[in-house]
Structure 1
Amino acid sequence: MTVLSQFFTGNEAEPVAVENSSGKGSVLLVCEHASQTLPARFGTLGLGSDVLQSHIAWDPGALAVSRLLSESLDATLVYQRYSRLVYDCNRPPESPSAMPVVSEIYDIPGNADLSDADRYARTSALYIPFHDRISQLVAARDQTVLVTIHSFTPVYHGKPRTVEIGILHDADTRLADAMLAHAGGSSFKVERNAPYGPEDGVTHTLRLHALPSGLLNVMIEVRNDLIQDENGQRAAADFLHGLLVAGIAAEAE
């Protein structure tokens, strides 16, 4: 019996989803926090339904924006089908944030006192298949621009955030620089490495799949109150499409 067969029930979906796998665009979109769904074996992790619908469980609107970008860019999209509360696929296994005991102001009872076996099971069932799939897609492509899509809450620890779109990077600033150069004068308030930056540990996927082989890469954060409905999601996706196309073209010159 495998870890996966023990982890999921027979009618649960595989953890990794791939859409537009035959997309011809150079961009590979990744959405690590696409869903608030918990595998059945975890129940509610001891949390109320309101908390499980909140930003601590997923990135509201991020998958919808990713799908719109996948369509407009003809980009392959990879996303995680299960909540980051069970395993945050944008964190390495050794990170305390991978299986958080506390998220913002909320204790996560179902993540308290995890054994080594518990952590291994979650890592094997969620993290490894997700990143293996990204690695396989990158290896099979002639050219890849890695773009990860996230959303963030407008109020964090009681403090409002005025930034609307964050363009994040790690050591490789090329694509972020080019996108930010084209962001001036937009209707969105766009900032570099906001509301998070690499010092917060949020660029793990970029570090794992892009930096070692020099792939162009960027992480995008959109404030989630702006993408609550289809109109907002499309406005954000259209704006990001323009930034990505301009940024990638600038780097190709």
Structure 2
Amino acid sequence: MTESVAPGAPFETLGEDRPGRWLVTCDHATNIVPPWVNGGDLGLPEEDMARHIAYDPGAAGVTRALAELLNSPAILTRFSRLVIDPNRGEDDPTLIMKLYDGSLVPANARLTRGEREARLERLYRPYHQAYADLAARRRDVAILAIHSYTPQLRGRPPRPWHIGVLSADEDRRLAEPFIRRLSAESGLCVGDNEPYGGHLPGDSIDRHCLVPGRPNLLVELRNDLIQTADQQRDWAERLAPALQGAAEQAEV
């Protein structure tokens, strides 16, 4: 296995020489704020930086375990989504959030054009270039994007789903057989485009899958279910056979 990460690098890659056809991605792997971004501090309290607004808790561990089980490479970000969100298009107004789930982000309140461009050039664009390079390594690559979500947004009702599968209307080749396999499991509440739906123009799946026509799945796990390394591994072991079976059934 190869593992590549340099100090201060905006992304980490795992298993670039693995032969599997999947590319497992984690757009929101960490809550790291690089030191050159406002001195490494966005002005939020530690409890906010530990919440889902700063990253996807548990998603990195699931990503690593799934990539190993699928014998495929993975790429994970090494910067907080509050610094800049790689799962947004460059023109998306939510690319750099000033307010998220009730929390103001002081360092983003008066962001200059130069500061925004630096975050794009030093974090966002290198990540997406590496993502594109890994995705292009073979013609039959399938993308598996791993995310997690909070059980309840502030002031909103609890979310009942254990797992959500997001897909765009124009490509549900993998989503439909994958959802059927998961829904057959007793006691598992599966969301089809829940807790939110589909994709946004210019986001990671649109850019790397829908535009070039690659089969894809975006999996959202409720983050209270993947808090520990054992839980993350258990979910990976649960999902890997369903993923492989869905790909075989879809014949992609």
**TM-score by structure 1 length?**
0.91
Deviations 1:25-84 (A, max 9, x none): 111011000001110122321111111111111000000000110110001000101111
- Match of 2:64? 67
Deviations 1:4-41 (A, max 9, x none): xxxxxxx9421021101111111101100000111012
- Match of 2:152? 155
Q: Distance in 2 between matches of 1:47 and 1:157?
A: 17
- Match of 1:21? 16
Question: 4+ residue stretches of structure 1 with deviation over 4 A?
Answer: none
Deviations 1:158-205 (A, max 9, x none): 321111100111121110011012122314211111111126x39811
- Match of 1:37? 32
Q: What is the root-mean-square deviation of aligned Cα atoms in Å?
A: 1.6
Contact 2:11–2:75, Cα closer than 8 Å, also in 1: yes
Give yes or no for the alignment of 1:244 onto 2:239. Answer: no
Q: Distance in 2 between matches of 1:23 and 1:247?
A: 21
Aligned-residue offset at 1:142: 3.2
- Match of 2:124? 127
Deviations 1:193-237 (A, max 9, x none): 1111126x3981110011122111010000000001123212211
- Match of 1:4? none
Q: Distance in 2 between matches of 1:202 and 1:150?
A: 18
Q: Distance in 2 between matches of 1:69 and 1:122?
A: 29
Deviations 1:119-160 (A, max 9, x none): 111111111111111111122223200110000000112321
Contact 1:169–1:197, Cα closer than 8 Å, also in 2: yes
- Match of 2:3? none
May I ask how many residue pairs the two structures share in their alignment? 242
> In the superposition, relative to structure 1, how do residues 144 and 98 fare at CA in structure 2: closer, same or farther (>3 Å)?
same
**TM-score by structure 2 length?**
0.91
Contact 1:169–1:203, Cα closer than 8 Å, also in 2: no
Give yes or no for the alignment of 1:222 onto 2:221. Answer: yes
Match 2:166 to one of 168, 175, 179 = 168
The SS at the match of 1:65 is helix
The SS at the match of 2:232 is helix
Aligned-residue offset at 1:242: 2.0
Q: Distance in 2 between matches of 1:99 and 1:165?
A: 26
Residue type of the partner of 2:198?
Answer: P
Residue type of the partner of 1:175?
Answer: L
The SS at the match of 1:213 is coil
Q: Distance in 2 between matches of 1:97 and 1:135?
A: 22
Contact 1:145–1:217, Cα closer than 8 Å, also in 2: yes
Unaligned 5+ segments in structure 1 are 1-10
Identity %: 34
Q: Distance in 1 between matches of 2:179 and 2:204?
A: 21
Q: Distance in 2 between matches of 1:57 and 1:115?
A: 21
Worse overlay, 40-49 or 15-24:
40-49
- Match of 1:181? 180
Unaligned 5+ segments in structure 2 are 1-5
Aligned-residue offset at 1:112: 0.8
Higher helix proportion (structure 1 or 2): 1
